[in-house]
Structure 1
């Protein structure tokens, strides 16, 4: 389906034009179904022989519990507790029922009730926190601010609240992604300050921005989850964006100097629950997902959960598609009150075409992507030029309580990720208004092994509390890259004619077969790192605590081995230290804190110098200060900070020796970040962020033309995000909700040197949704990019025009 939106004009003319008849049908069905549900709910009061069930839900501390699901088992009747903890279920046929109250993070509770015709039955629940579930502070905040899930042990590897942590981080919850009908993992990052437009690589892998640095998605459940392909969001419980150089507690090979993104997967819990969802919409989207959770024994010591997805979608352009299957089973075995084992897997297969990738002509006279005149909807590709990908990600976690003050945490991850087929890239020839189309026939498997052993303590020395983590980590990454790159004759990108269809799999395969073999057609890579680290949070007073951390890494790169000639290049070994310090003072206990930190991160450099001299590790040093707020009983959560990151030993292209690199640069990245997650009144939620980043090359090798300029891959200097939604929590239309928001990015560069600059213009996108959420079902409709804004990624890939998605799910 395709449709185009234009804004509402002052004259009052309709804002929607050129909407396909198919999409009009979808809209009518969606809203017709929603109105039918509302009508049935409203008129149900006319039924006879029924009664009403009312009640309240509280937690063990006596506070009201919001969003708790109330279900009469084996019936269609249920409700969701409002912010005051009250719920009402009307028109329940007379009889005896079992009522279950459940919420993630709380122990489920079951009660028997009898409903009499024309009468009201009252029942109350008091729910307590489960032994395996999230921290108490999260449970409390989730009752009021449903998109707030800041309390996590992943960031510091310690039981440390957000207000106690001197590091800045953002968390995107599965609840927020569900409300926004996120069908693509990258779309979840719209809610993280400073991430920008996703950069999609030829095999579906995505990176985004963090503090002006390109940052990958290589970490899953706090260890390596190196997925070289696209990531399906079906198994995502939350996305954690940890800001700044994070080399102390995380593998530096998988993070950038701006931070890292940790995807946390859904884990089994004690409440039986199944949700099946279907999404359909623009560009032939058809997506089916399932989330099944159940205990496997009566004692609820063996818990099972599986998430699965079938996805099929075409591009808005004339060619391009993505078809995939994904399944993620997980088991938790609670052996006793000291020992538990989690085992899970992510298994995926997909068939897709490459993401659009375009390079400008650095000798040309066109300096802005809008001025090229390229048709936004032309892919310049062909659906036969595609690739297959496969992912198998195995993960296990063993938690053992050594004593009341110490626990052991052992994590193991094994990943196989591969791409096999054809990936593409395009280059412009500005003088002749032509485009060169290039294809690479590749077989590129990755093999990853990651093992971590942590010992975590929480104890007092005298009156001073210490929370400490000490650990060891081993990481190994191997790859065997087979690739042959060929090009087809250039064609006009303004008027390509019949030659437009000449880029096919058969022609690419013929060119690959005719290409002269080279030693670099098959390359083996093998690199490992061995690390030890320790981090301690020391409470000087009840309100003042200090963090001190250090890590040592031994990095061994065996280099790139080409069996054809028996040569190995780029092999080296390096040792690097990474310290971190932080201070936090809670001005108002558990509500307002001031913090500051110094953080150090490093990257091992594997580039090649002209004289084969090994490069030193790149180091980044960050100084940061700010304020964190968690006030009004968790209704307002905010972080505002200023950071300054300086990078030494920066590598760049060697102008004197093309194809080689030189290490003669330094870089500065500084700026302001602000985030707000709020629930100012019942049912109304806000997620907002702003990021300003000032990056520049402060020293560069002569002849590079980079001195004093902003690195092109730093993205827009200003980025903003906003999402506001309102959900009716009482009355006959309880569960009906609306949401609106958008994203802004200032202009940026695809290339930025003294000799040539190529600009990507600023953009503003607007999204909106309407939904009806009930205990037994949910229906929602989302419009992305309402104004049909044309905007591009760093690789000059045109982004989706207006897109509609209808989502329907059943829950039981």
Structure 2
């Protein structure tokens, strides 16, 4: 609060100074103002406008307008430019007591630059596809051969989505989110687990809950993406989730909002933005939130606080700086994680196990505490009209202290709680240097990024794992309670993990998009990645090793080199409207250990072949993608059939399917979002117990999501709206294998589900109120960790804007 008050006071004095200066100098000075727009006449925000002779500049506001007041009469040169776009100079003359208007409309090829320039006023507010992160190039969605989904803040706000799990409902194939014990969230993507560990295109891992208060949008980038992003940000073969944070803007504004709902849900958010200098080239924004919620089950709660300040500074017309910080702190109890008893040879469903849907079997004093601090800094420098330098540094730290729990089945009717007690810390540093060019070789336009990437990871473990008594979960004892005192008394005899480990990754990559014709483009990308694992240092013994390797073999520190490619073709059937595309992309993961001959394992690889069509038609009223993909994973480790103590590296896996994504704005006020995902995954060469089976935890084979809303755009009730949507998925598996004795199927099935949501809202210039119901029908559903999902949850909200 002190920081907020200080910012407001500074802004007050800043306004006072401006007013005094304008009152005293307006008769003897002149001014320059104007409007910067795209080729479609849409206003562009945060474009740099400067006076060359005075070394003075400003940025355009949310309407694309700029103003340079209090100028001494004379002749000047106005320069308008964005990073990655050609600069434009205008000769202007300032006359005392008059305003000189200088407008500029950017050419089409420069509508999307390398900085976070916002195209304001798009007809379809839920289909803001343009991104500076997906390709690390000034590349529009229709020019990009890769598929990605964006969930913008406008859709997040309308749906009253207050957590990442709710936001992900709009991503085709994401499924029911898996919430880990410390609040970390994981989604499905094309049959693989995917975490939201990319932040503004760089590593921003958080082994804790991530509050969405500072989110501008989520970008779900589909398919193996190691060529540009590596594996350090938990990109999976199915893709990665990139969290794009809110950036400062040119103007004073913000809002304060309160949310209240079922199970004592209370949430307060704040968003304040202000310029901090007279030229409005230095901007500050602060987002924050605090949330408390009890579980819908008999016990359990979460309490979180987050602060996210950001600062941007247009140092010169060529140099800009962005500083961005995320701080989060949470205390809560673990969500239910149930691992059923699977020793018996049978197929069973979690819905038939009689596991109590509303019981946790734990106590509210078995809590964990997490803390997260992510620091992001980016320096952009325009080297020339054709080349730009980006220097980016990211530092991410997460710590977990307290108790993490799981419920392990001991028979068809009994369970035993396992509790991990202690401290864990994860620290990651990512430094990246990119050189981005937009130039021609002969008649061929090239958009090229050349980058160097260094990633350091350090993990610290000091914890003990203990098991409590076995109880009947169908008829639990009345006095059953796992208390903190009971767990602490067992911790000294538990299994200890006291160690540190670290690794370094050194990588270089290049990606070039070549315009072979005005409509035909080719993308050629390559990455070389050197991974150095420094080993595990055992604090008790003082010995560094590789930890427990594959097949029980101790594998020491090691290094691996991997190559990753990304190839794509795009042909625009109708320029900027309909595109045919295809890609061949690669992902990899480093693997430790040696085979029976002592040979070091190679990195595991996956190659994706994909093709489809993208559309952006009728003045952006219809935006969508239809694609087919085929992902082949190789170099999977499997048990050596001649010696079970070792592994061999010849396993393979297949994941193929179809994805459809659509956003539409047929007429003013009506918006539709729809997605469909079909995924066929199976092991094609693996241990006999898994051969030909769909991998457990790969999610439902079929998933559907939709959202439709209507808002009155005129009349006395303008701003009043309704929204309705849902998500459904076919059945999936928590366990899918075969019995070691009979070879018969051994499965734990997660039933199919359909979850429906609805909202009512009234949005005005100075306030917004809303009411929402999640899971209207109180359908019972489970995540892949067999965590029960909440029944119908009611929530109301009120926001004041300024």
| TM-score computed with the length of structure 2 as normaliser | 0.84
Offset, 1:108 = 6.8
Aligned pair 1:738/2:738, yes or no? no
Offset, 1:607 = 6.3
SS in 1 for 2:761: strand
Structure 2 residue aligned with 1:629: 615
Range with bigger deviation, 648-657 or 168-177: 648-657
Aligned pair 1:645/2:631, yes or no? yes
Offset, 1:658 = 8.1
Structure 1 residue aligned with 2:401: 420
Of 203, 216, 219, the residue aligned with 1:240 is 219
Offset, 1:609 = 6.7
Aligned pair 1:466/2:450, yes or no? no
Q: Is the 8 A contact 1:105 1:133 kept in 2?
A: no
Structure 2 residue aligned with 1:801: 791
Distance 1:395 1:129 in 2: 32
Q: Could you give the per-residue CA deviations for residues 43-85 of structure 1, whole angstroms, max 9, x where no partner exists?
A: xxxxxxxxxxxxxx998579787999xxxxxxxxxxxxxxxxx
Change (3 A) 1:379 1:595: same
Of 490, 506, 520, the residue aligned with 1:530 is 506
Structure 1 residue aligned with 2:13: none
Q: Is the 8 A contact 1:108 1:127 kept in 2?
A: no
Structure 1 residue aligned with 2:769: 779
Q: Is the 8 A contact 1:368 1:758 kept in 2?
A: yes
Q: Could you give the per-residue CA deviations for residues 365-395 of structure 1, whole angstroms, max 9, x where no partner exists?
A: 5610011112211111111101110111111
Q: Is the 8 A contact 1:287 1:312 kept in 2?
A: yes
Distance 2:104 2:116 in 1: 13
Change (3 A) 1:633 1:66: same
Structure 2 residue aligned with 1:698: 684
Structure 2 residue aligned with 1:219: 198
Distance 2:65 2:647 in 1: 58
Of 515, 540, 562, the residue aligned with 1:564 is 540
Aligned pair 1:106/2:86, yes or no? no
Q: Could you give the per-residue CA deviations for residues 91-138 of structure 1, whole angstroms, max 9, x where no partner exists?
A: xxxxxxxxxxx9747337899xxxxxxxxxxxxx99978999976999
SS in 1 for 2:721: strand
Distance 2:102 2:727 in 1: 41
Offset, 1:643 = 0.4
Change (3 A) 1:489 1:661: farther
Structure 2 residue aligned with 1:763: 753
Offset, 1:422 = 0.4
Structure 2 residue aligned with 1:95: none
Structure 1 residue aligned with 2:247: 267
Aligned pair 1:167/2:151, yes or no? no
Map 1:316-715; keep pairs closer than 5 Å.
316-364=296-344, 365=346, 367-431=348-412, 433-501=413-481, 503-513=482-492, 515=493, 521-565=497-541, 566-569=543-546, 570=555, 571-606=557-592, 614-652=600-638, 663-702=649-688, 705-715=689-699
SS in 1 for 2:460: strand
Q: Is the 8 A contact 2:39 2:105 kept in 1?
A: no
Range with bigger deviation, 178-187 or 391-400: 178-187
Q: Is the 8 A contact 1:439 1:485 kept in 2?
A: yes
SS in 2 for 1:690: strand
Offset, 1:143 = 2.6
Distance 2:645 2:792 in 1: 41
Q: Any gaps of 5 or more consecutive residues in structure 2? A: 1-33, 46-59, 70-100, 547-554, 740-745
Q: Could you give the per-residue CA deviations for residues 268-302 of structure 1, whole angstroms, max 9, x where no partner exists?
A: 01021121000000111100000001100110011
Offset, 1:662 = 5.2
Distance 1:648 1:342 in 2: 40
Aligned pair 1:721/2:701, yes or no? no
Q: Is the 8 A contact 1:141 1:634 kept in 2?
A: no
Q: Could you give the per-residue CA deviations for residues 559-591 of structure 1, whole angstroms, max 9, x where no partner exists?
A: 222132224124211000001110000000110
Q: Is the 8 A contact 1:648 1:667 kept in 2?
A: yes
Q: Is the 8 A contact 1:686 1:723 kept in 2?
A: yes
Distance 1:367 1:606 in 2: 35
SS in 1 for 2:507: strand
Q: Is the 8 A contact 2:62 2:120 kept in 1?
A: no
Change (3 A) 1:148 1:603: same
Structure 1 residue aligned with 2:735: 751
Q: Any gaps of 5 or more consecutive residues in structure 1? A: 1-56, 69-101, 112-124
Distance 1:294 1:682 in 2: 32
Structure 1 residue aligned with 2:292: 312
Q: Is the 8 A contact 1:106 1:127 kept in 2?
A: no
Q: RMSD value over aligned CA atoms?
A: 2.7
Counting matched residue pairs gives: 703
Structure 1 residue aligned with 2:779: 789
Range with bigger deviation, 675-684 or 247-256: 247-256
Distance 1:716 1:809 in 2: 37
Structure 1 residue aligned with 2:30: none
Offset, 1:610 = 7.9
Structure 2 residue aligned with 1:811: 801
Structure 1 residue aligned with 2:236: 256
Q: Is the 8 A contact 2:128 2:152 kept in 1?
A: yes
SS in 2 for 1:647: strand
Offset, 1:754 = 2.2
Offset, 1:483 = 1.5
Offset, 1:416 = 1.2
Offset, 1:614 = 3.3
Q: Is the 8 A contact 1:104 1:133 kept in 2?
A: no
Q: Is the 8 A contact 1:141 1:148 kept in 2?
A: no
Q: Is the 8 A contact 1:202 1:424 kept in 2?
A: yes
